[in-house]
Structure 1
Amino acid sequence: MVLSEVVNFHTQNATLMRVVAYVRSVFELYNSVNMVYSQSSKIESFSTYSQIALINIVYLILNWIQSAMKYSKITTNWRRFSLLSFSALFLTGTGLAQFTGIETEVHATSAYGTTYHIYATFADPTDECIALYSIGTAEEGSVDLSLDVTTSFYQHPAGSNLGSGISGFFITLVPELAYDSWLTIGSETSDDGPVSSIGMSDAFASFSTGGGFVLNGETGGSWYVTPASNPSALAGDDGRVLLAQLTAADDAEGNAGHVVCDWNLQWRDVSGVSSNVIGLLVDTSDSPVDIAGCMDVSACNYDAAATTDDGSCATLDACGVCGGEGIAAGTCDCEGSLPDAGYDCDGVCLSDSDGDAIW
C-alpha cells in the first residue's frame, strides 16, 4: 500500500484531520532525509524502507491520539513492527547539526540526595534535540540504552517520569517536588513544551520506584519531542538542552550517590537534516561536574563548593534576612509593627491643620 492510499483511506477519520499539520511536518522530515541519502549507494533500500516507516508513523499518530500514549505493552506484530520502524527512523544519516558532547552538573544538594542535571551540548543555538532512544534486538542495528544509580533515585509520589508532566505551580505548593527525578528533552515543567515516550512502560515501572533500567528488548524505546514542536528542545544561546534531572540518594555513610548512563541521541539542524550518536557515557563518579551556586565571597549565600555561578547571590536586607525584601511597605519595623493612627512611623502627625503637631 503506497502512502497516498493510506492517507486517502483515513481521510474520513476526523482524528487524522486534526493531525494533518503534524503529518506534513513528518513528510518534510522524510523529504530532507531522502535528499541526504539520495547520494548514497543504498538509496533504493532506504527509499523503500522509509516509505514503510512513514506509513507506520501515520498509524502510530492515530494510536497516540486515541490512547493518549498509554502503551503498556506492544503486543501485536503490527504494533511491534511500527515501533521498530519508528525507532529506526531516528537513524537518519550524517547531518549538519553539531553535537559537541554531554555535560553534567550538580544542580542541588538536599535531604533527598544530590540532584544532577544532564545536558546535550551543541555548537549552534538552532540545533534541536529530538530523541534519546534504543533500537530493539529484532531490528537491524540494535542498540541498548541504560540508566543506573549507585543508590536509588528520589521519586516524589506526585512526580512524573517526564519533566513536562510536572506542574510548575504544584512545585510552589510542594517544594520537595523540585527534587523529583525525571527524563526530558528541554522541558522542566508542564509550562514548557510536551515530551513524549514510547516503548518505555517496563523502564518507567522501575524508574518510578527509584531504580534504573535497560532498554534492550525485542522492540526499541524512546523519549522524544515532535520536531519543531517544543522550543525547549533548541540549544539556545547557552548551547545546551536538558536531558534529565536525576536525584541520587546518599549512601549509608552519607556519601553522594552517582548516576551512570549509556545513551543514544538524535538531533537535527535548522534545515531539518538529522544526525545521531550512540554510546554517550556518563558516570558522575569519575566525570568532572559543575556545582552550581553563588561564587561571590561577599554575598550572604556564598557557596565555597560552587564551581559555576548560578546567579543566586544575595545580600542581607535591612532585617538581616539573606535575599529578603526588608521592612514591608506600610510597617515600621522588621516585626511588622504599624504606626499609630494619624501618624507615620517616626511619630509625625500626618494631618496637622492647626499646627499643634496633634492629629
Structure 2
Amino acid sequence: GMTTYRFYIGMESSEDFLSAMYGSLQNPLAVNTSDGFYNDAFASGATADGLNAALFGFFPTLAFDSWVTIGVESAAVAPEVATSTVESQFQPWLNAFSANSDIDGQNFVIDDWTGGAWFLTNGAPNGLPDADNQRVLIMQLTTAGSFDGTLNAQIFREGDGSDDVFKSFAFDGVGTFNAIGESASGAGNACGCTDPEASNYDEDAAYENDSCLYPGCTDAMACNYDAEANTDDNSCSYAAAGYDCDGVCLNDVDSDGVCDEFEVAGCQDDAACNYNADATDEDGSCTYADAGYDCDGNCLADADGDGVCDEFEVEGCQDATACNYNADATDEDGSCTYAETGYDCDGNCLVDTDGDGVCDDFEIAGCQDAMACNYNADATDEDGSCTYAEEGYDCEGNCLEDMDGDGVCDQFEIAGCQDAVACNYNADATDEDGSCTYADEGYDCDGNCLEDADADGVCDEFEIAGCQDEMACNYDANATDEDGSCTYADAGYDCDGNCLVDTDGDGVCDDFEIGGCQDDAACNFNADATDEDGSCTYADAGYDCDGNCLADADGDGVCDDFEVAGCQDDMACNYNADATDDDGSCTYADAGYDCEGNCLADEDGDGICDPFEVGGCQDDTACNYNADATDEDGSCTYADAGYDCEGNCLADADGDGVCDGFEIPGCVYTNAANFNAEATDDDGSCAFEGCQNDNFANFNSYANADGTCSDAPVSADFNGDGVVQNQDLLDFLLAYGQSGPVWGGVEWVQDACNVEPTPLEDLYTPVDYCGSDDPAPLCDMIGCTYPAANNYDADATIESGDCVWTGCTDSDALNYNPIANLDDDTCKYQVCPDFNNDGQVQAQDLLNFLLAWGMTY
C-alpha cells in the first residue's frame, strides 16, 4: 500500500515568516520517489488550496492527494492566503501534482535559469509557524516507495521583509534534516531520542528526553490503526464509504457487486444516445438518433460541413445574381452564369437612350467625320468636336506641297533677291532667284563715297598720303592728301648732303669752317675746330689744365704722389702732425682709461673704472644672480624651498605640479567612502563601498570595500500607486520566465529593462601623458590603477587620478550606482522585474519581489 508523508520547515522564532520554497540554477530543488506519488482525481491543482475539506467524508481518497503548500492542508480560509506558484516554460512541474496529466506523480526538479517556486506574500498568517511545533507545513506526498530530494526555503526573520535568509535541506526518507551546512546537534544539546527504532533517532544524543517519534496511524477507526504509534503520519487508511475494510459492500440487494448506495439507474445500451457507462441498473430510458444523424443531430456524413447531410444535398447555382440561380440548391457546383456588364441575361442593353444598339455605358462621344483631323473611329455619338486642317496644310500644320523643303508651301513662295546687303534686296522674297546687284567697293548703291572725311571727292579708302610740295626733296606727284612729310636740304647743302662750296675739300663747307687747337692733349683743345690755328696750351706735370691733381684718391687737395700717411687725430695716442692722409692707424685710450691703460676714475680702487661698475647680485645661488655685476647691491632673491626660481618643483615624479616633498597621499576620488579633499596623490587606498557578493541583487562589480548586501529591490511598485500589493504581483507574473531583450513581447518590461549603455569611447577620451609637447616625468607609468575601473591600465604604477566608472549617476534613478562617476545613459526610472539583472525574470527575482511585499514608496 501507499503511505502519506508530510514535510515541514522548523522555525527559530514564532515571528519568522516562510516566504517561499523555490528552485533555480544556483539552488536546485528536487523531489524524487522510487514509485511515483499519488494524485487524487477529485483534487484541483498542485497546491493544497485545490482541496475542499468538506468532501473528505464523501471521497476519502481525496485526503491522500499529494500537494505543495505553505501552512494550509486544504483551501485557505481568511485571513489565510492561498499559496501561489510559478514554473519555467522549459521545466514544468505543477502538473506532476495533477491526476491524469502527462507527468502525473513523476519526479521533478527545478534547476533551470528561470526556476520555479510556491510562495506567499509577507503578512499571510499561514506563513508563520504553528504554536505547538514551531513549524510550517510545505508539502504532502503519498507514495508506495522511498523518497529523497532537496528543498530550498526563503525565510523572513521576525517577519522583516528586508531581512531574509535562505536555507537548503537535503532529505532522504522520514526524519528530521538540518539545513545544509548546519550542525545536527544545534547549540551542543546532547539530549534527544536514543531509540534506533524511532523515526527521529539522534545518534549524537547522549540522553533520552522522551522525544522519540513512532509514526503510524493513530486513528482507532482506521483499517490500519497502530496502537504503538505516538505520532500520526497521515498514513491512516479507511474503508471506502459503503464498504468494510476488506472492500465488501455493506448493502447489495441485487448481489451485483455494486453497493446499493452506489447503484446508478440509466440506459445500458451503448448504441443509444443516452448510454450511461456508469449505469449499473437498466431503467428503459434509452433514446436513439434519427436516420442519417448522430445523437447530437449532426449529419453522419457531411463532406462539406454545411449542415446538410450528403444524401440530402442538391447541387446547383446558389448565387441569386446569376442567370441560372437555383433556390433549391444546397451545394454550389460552380455552374453559375452571369449577364455581361451592361446587359441583361437575354443580351439586351440595360440602358440605350438613343436606341442605336449601343448601351449607354459603352457609348463613346467624339468626331465621326473621317475628313476631320480628330476623327475617332471608335466614336458612337457625334459630339460636334471635329477640327480641320488649314488650306495648303495637313492636320499637323505641314505643307501639302513644299518642293524646296523650306517650310513655305509652294503656292505661297515669292521669288527675289534675299541678300540684305544687295542693292535690290526684297524682304518678302521666300526663294532666292539670283537677281541681286551690288554697289562698287567704297561706294553706295547711288555711286557716292561711303567715307570721304575731307570731302575732296576721293573716298577715304582710296586716298594717298604724301608730300605735295614740289620744292621738297620727297615730293610725291601721286599724293592726294598732304601728310606733312615733306623734307628739305640743309642750308649750304643739296638734297644729297653735298656742300654747295668746299674750297679746301675737307668735307666742311666753307660757310661752316671753325679755326682752333685740334690737339686733344692740349688744355685748349677745341673739338669743334675744323682748321688747326697753332693756339694749343698744356697743364703742369701732375696737374690737369685746371690746376687740379691728376690723382687725389681722398680728394684732400694733395696729389697722391705727394701724400704722407699717418694718424691725423690730435686726440689719438699716435697723432702725426705731418700726415696728409689719415691711414686709420690712430690708436686711442679705452673709455675711462688714459693712453697707458690707467683708469681716469676708480673711486673704490678695484681696478674697474667707476663708469664701468655694474651693481647687482653676485651670489651665484640666487635666482637673480648677475654674472656681470662688479658691485654687490644686496638685491639677491632666492627660490622657495623645494622649488626652482621659475616656481617649478625640484622633484615631481608624477608631474602633477605638487612637489614630491609636499605631496599628501590619500584617496582623491570623490565617489569613494574615504575621499580625502586634501590628498594630492592617490595612494590606492580608495574604498568604494558596495555589495561584493555576486549572489545578491545589489552586487556592485565596482566595489572593493564591503557594503550592505541585499536582495530587496529598490522598488517593486510596478503600477506606481506607492504600495507593493496584488496588482504588482500580477504585473510581475506577466514577466515571469521571460528573458531579454524580447521579454515575451511585454512592452512595459522592454521599456523598463532594455537599456543600451553609451560606449566608453563615446564618453571618454583617454589622456596621453606622453603625447604632449611637455610630457610628465615617468609619463609611461601614469594611468588608472583601480582594477574595477573602466579605463584600468594594468601597466600603470602611478595613479593618474582620472579613473572612470561608468553607470547611472542620477540618485533619483532606480539603478543609481553611487560609485559611478561617468553617466553612460543607463538610468532606469521604470521598475524592471529582472531585479538581479541577469537577463531573465526567474525564481530569484520572485524571491526578491517578496522581500518588497507591502512596502510603500
Q: Which has the higher helix share?
A: 1
Q: Which has the greater radius of gyration?
A: 2
What interval of TM-score do these two structures reach, taking the shorter chain for normalisation? 0.3 to 0.5
Higher strand share: 1
The TM-score with structure 2 as length reference comes to: 0.20
Give the number of the structure with larger relative contact order, counting CA–CA contacts within 8 Å between residues 6 or more apart: 1
